[in-house]
Amino acid sequence: MKINFTEIDKDYANIDGAVVVFSLKNDDGYEFRPPAVDLDKATDGALTKAAEATDFKGNFGQMIELIAPSGVAASRILLVGLGEMDKLNPLKAEQIGGKVIVKLMYSGEKNVTVVVGKMAESAALGMRLRAYKFDKYFTTEKNIKKPSVEQVTFQTHGADEAAAKFETMDRVADGVFWARDLVTEPGNVVYPESYAAQIKELTNMGIEVEVLDEDTMEDLGMESLLGVGQGSASESLMVLMHWKGSDNPDEAPVAFVGKGVTFDTGGISLKPGAGMGDMKFDMGGSAAVVGAMKAIAGRKAKANVIGVVGLVENMPSSTAQRPGDVVGSMSGQTIEVLNTDAEGRLVLADCLWYTQDRYKPKFIVDLATLTGAMMVALGQEFAGMFSNSDELCEMLDQAGKDVDEPLWRMPLTDGFDKMINSDIADMKNIGGKYGGSITAAQFLQRFVNETPWAHLDIAGTAWRQKPSDVAEKGATGYGVRLLDRLVQNNFED
Ligand code: BES
Ligand code: ZN
Ligand code: ZN
């Protein structure tokens, strides 16, 4: 699907293909925008007639579809309600874009023209995000539903500016799509070595990529991460990405860290069979990080950014780690592994320590599908945010609101911290019966030293059971836009 932008050309009656026009809602009812007024005239009042017949109110997302209207060149007119003018914003425009493309994608129309004065770039982004699908493993015609829409043209004021803005946003969408692809791919396709090989391709965009293999990690004392992967035939890897976009190469970077458990069986503390296949998504945190790195490099962000992902597969086998094992970590602290299914924190522990130790970043944000308990607490609406820095929380909260990837802050306290003290080592990898997401975060905090840090538990937001306005059901790519926006809002220029 190609998207382009042209200036508004008032000859609406001569646009062919599908034409999308808008209506607002005001105190008196609906209020057609000028292009809709024009098309209404040209069709001899067909839009008004349809609006009356369908109780159209101009509500947000409400639609009227006229097929083969007479008096105009268009094969179809789609009239879309925007709601009240003063409630419109770029996020609403994205949603409208998503709603429009869902309506038209398989309509038979090849060319779509959307006539909209402003925020066209946001509507275009919504379309692009919503039109994504993952169909590479279907082999029969029946399964491969090919969209009919090939070209979308936005007629808008300041088309060149809209096109330039969209170009940047489209690079971010590339990052989102890569993250969605990675999360959707099964564990036999995305495993540590194949995943690292894909990440290496970021080199082509100017990102420096370095891979730490098992021997290197062993030398660094990363027993915590290595213990998780020791039952797998795949080699555990840590991948480091470095984007140097700031004018000042010595400026301290911001750092993103992701949990990349390419499949989580639970290990010897094996998960129940039902739904275990979902655990291919347990690398969602790392996908957000690599997707964000792609977005940041793709739009040539003027900032220094580090991405670190720990890639391991958690399998039960005769070489797997046992419940009760005690492991060390790069930080020097020891851990009693009472449950091998609480593996994400073990992976992140060494990633976090390494990141603060080597890069001395301004701050670290880690993302992980860390705990089932997070879904109990916040459902699928919010990711949980745990942090030692109010300032970082404010920046993240704002970025989350800007891109509709919302966060809800959760507590960290000494009381919760005590719950992970162990009888035989510095800590254990599980807390008590309650507050499981918090004790997991307390565990991570023991590995960030004094660095400002936030942990985002995305267990509930990385995957959705139902489509949204900007995403098909399945992998959401949650976190890519959030991290990109965090950098955009605070660390460029
Ligand atoms: N990857 C899971 C967390 C998870 C579970 C995310 C279900 C989404 C849905 C994580 O590794 C895990 O298994 N956590 C355990 C921790 C427990 C053993 C303390 C959990 O949440 O049950
Ligand atoms: Zn687990
Ligand atoms: Zn896991």
- What residue spans define the domains of the chain? 2-156, 170-490
* DSSP label at residue 73: S
Q: Can you tell me the mean pLDDT for 462-487? A: 97
Whether 351 lines ligand 1, by a CB cut-off of 6 Å, is no
Whether 475 lines ligand 1, by a CB cut-off of 6 Å, is no
Examine the residue annotation and report whether 49 is marked as an active-site residue of this protein.
Answer: no
Q: For 64-87, how does the pLDDT look when each residue is reduced to its tens digit (9 = 90+)?
A: 999 999 999 999 999 999 999 999
* Contact status, residue 293 vs residue 238, Cβ threshold 8 Å: no
Q: Which ligand is nearest to the CA of 431?
A: 1
DSSP, collapsed to helix, strand or coil, labels residue 484 as helix
The ligand 1 atom at the shortest distance from the C-alpha of residue 430 is: 19
Query: What's the confidence (pLDDT) of residue 140?
Result: 86
CATH code for the part of the protein at 2-156: 3.40.220.10
Examine the residue annotation and report whether 271 is marked as an active-site residue of this protein.
Answer: yes
Q: For 117-146, how does the pLDDT look when each residue is reduced to its tens digit (9 = 90+)?
A: 999 999 999 999 999 999 999 998 777 888
Q: How far is the CA of 273 from the centre of ligand 3 (A)?
A: 15
* Contact status, residue 414 vs residue 388, Cβ threshold 8 Å: no
Mean pLDDT for the chain overall = 97
Q: Can you tell me the mean pLDDT for 151-177? A: 98
Q: For 4-31, how does the pLDDT look when each residue is reduced to its tens digit (9 = 90+)?
A: 999 999 999 999 999 999 999 999 999 9
- Taking residue 90's Cβ as centre, other Cβ atoms within 10 Å add up to 19
Whether 431 lines ligand 1, by a CB cut-off of 6 Å, is no
Query: What's the confidence (pLDDT) of residue 144?
Result: 81
Architecture field, domain 170-490:
3-Layer(aba) Sandwich (3.40)
In angstroms, rounded to a whole number, what is the distance separating the alpha carbons of residues 263 and 265?
6
* pTM beyond 0.95, yes or no: yes
Q: For 261-297, how does the pLDDT look when each residue is reduced to its tens digit (9 = 90+)?
A: 999 999 999 999 999 999 999 999 999 999 999 999 9
Q: For 448-464, how does the pLDDT look when each residue is reduced to its tens digit (9 = 90+)?
A: 999 999 999 999 999 99
- Note whether 2-156 and 170-490 share their fold: no
In angstroms, rounded to a whole number, what is the distance separating the alpha carbons of residues 457 and 282?
11
* Residues in the 5 Å CB sphere of ion ligand 3: 261, 264, 282, 344
Query: What's the confidence (pLDDT) of residue 211?
Result: 99
Query: What's the confidence (pLDDT) of residue 141?
Result: 78
Which among 76, 92, 171, 345 is annotated as catalytic? Answer: 345
Whether 341 lines ligand 1, by a CB cut-off of 6 Å, is yes
pLDDT above 90 covers what percent of the chain?
98
* Contact status, residue 266 vs residue 211, Cβ threshold 8 Å: no
- How far apart, in Å, are the Cα atoms of 11 and each of 15, 74, 155, 348, 492? 7, 12, 11, 58, 41
Please check the confidence at residue 493 and state whether its pLDDT lies above 80: no
Q: Can you tell me the mean pLDDT for 136-164? A: 93
In angstroms, rounded to a whole number, what is the distance separating the alpha carbons of residues 267 and 228?
8
Query: What's the confidence (pLDDT) of residue 217?
Result: 99
Query: What's the confidence (pLDDT) of residue 427?
Result: 99
Whether 438 lines ligand 1, by a CB cut-off of 6 Å, is no
Please check the confidence at residue 242 and state whether its pLDDT lies above 90: yes
Q: Which ligand is nearest to the CA of 259?
A: 3
